[in-house]
Structure 1
């Protein structure tokens, strides 16, 4: 083939691949030296005046390619993943930094690729950012994104570079603070014991100004990623409506949005004990649990850690998720409401990823092309139709 780069462009731009095309790509990735693939990738970026490849997108892009190649019987061979790492970024060139595939059923043709956005909005609904408010123990509320860096309130907490830093526990006094992120907001906090917490959009974390007694306890609504400071004498507890996560020192993610069907806990390091509905499971690294507040069921399974914490790393990712769940995620991050055409199939399953820095119009354009639906934005409402 005279121009493999051009063929790769054409192949990745197609909505679906034939078995022959899948076999060609597997063969190409397994037999082309990594240095040559890197050269091809750099050439593609130079042609489009793109300064650098964002490595944070690599795994999500590869997951997208993998999803499209599932019908190929040789897809489970391991060698191609190493080679694909050098070429994964080509998908960015074709999708403007986002990759989404409809996995559960064949692609529907879409006649119009552009999302209709009224002039007063003009497609510029920006993504979320570091926004939150802090409710102090004296009841005072501080809007953090409108507050300069420095000490806040009673002086035991400092704001620095979109993060709250609490003083050591000695002499901090009692009482609790509450950190609240709006839709379209996220924030970080280092608690008085050294535990670090990343709080996702539309979430709420209540915690003591200083941990006293024989345990450390916080309450969560929404989603947060924790890196808990080890203290074998004082276990750390995350309390969620009907569920409790007990920790000794570890890294884990808890997704407990009340509008979701289940609360999930994903463990990256250490060990946690999850209790809910009268049952209890102990997770090992790489495992997740899912608790249903409605039925009280609690299950344990091997999980997808990269997907579970992608939001913390600047990526919105979906792994065979229903369209309605995808739109709830987008609604929280872009602070928009979603309305569906009557009778629309909201159980379409979507796999893929996009950068959280994308504006809404670009995110919807990619999703429109891949999910076989159409979006119209009116004010801050996204209407979904066939």
Structure 2
């Protein structure tokens, strides 16, 4: 069977030994910057930036004589980005991420450390960034395909995974959020928007700027999620009772302990089997948005349900093509084509061709 997973190229130029040899001045700058950065961004963002700086300064160690960051020339930084594209096989998105990390460090040095480095300027921003583009084939799922997966999970007796899939389809939440859903958040009488959506009883932490991210209430399509949730709850309670475990997390490991994000992702890795394309959690976020818009829900309401700050997010997550949309002008065209005068003209042309 053909492998449906999306492949990512990985080449590592860092090691603990190399990191220990990074120019102490560079390491001191990074540590100071990250200390300040951590007061404004999430721990996960700090780790991403730290990893990027390890890559960059290991490169400087290997190819730029371990120079101070302050003394690097523009062509040397350009060489690094060229190395990333040619040797590390960076995508445009990865290029942008590294560019952002180095720009942030440079801006901080220029604005905060100016007393120590009065002549320093951010030269990273002069490096041209490639246009962002989709580099992996996107999996677009129909309702029939996802409910086919749901039925397959039922056939192999995976009610918990059915509950998870229904929550994904019904909420459009991100993968990292599902391990944080608790039974306290779900009240079948706490409804919103004419009773079509379950509203979580409290706000949840979601991706966003700041140390604690953003907190919003989640809205879940009731009829998509509730039947599978109710099916799973008594089974969950039995597992926890048998293992002497007490907590309020919806998803659990086989020993009753709360499921982690990595646990949940491991379940999803098996979901490709009944599908014709690769399943990944973000695909249901696209499905959620596309389905609601196709059903005629106002774009403003879809944006409100996700608490998106920009309507541009609708364009990102709506997978409907021009052919899938309902165009009012097509009805006008159909009416014009069906007019008697048009039909008579068409008949004349056909008769002329026959002669």
TM-score range, shorter chain: under 0.3
Higher helix share: 2
Larger Cα-atom Rg: 2
- TM-score normalised to the size of structure 1? 0.25
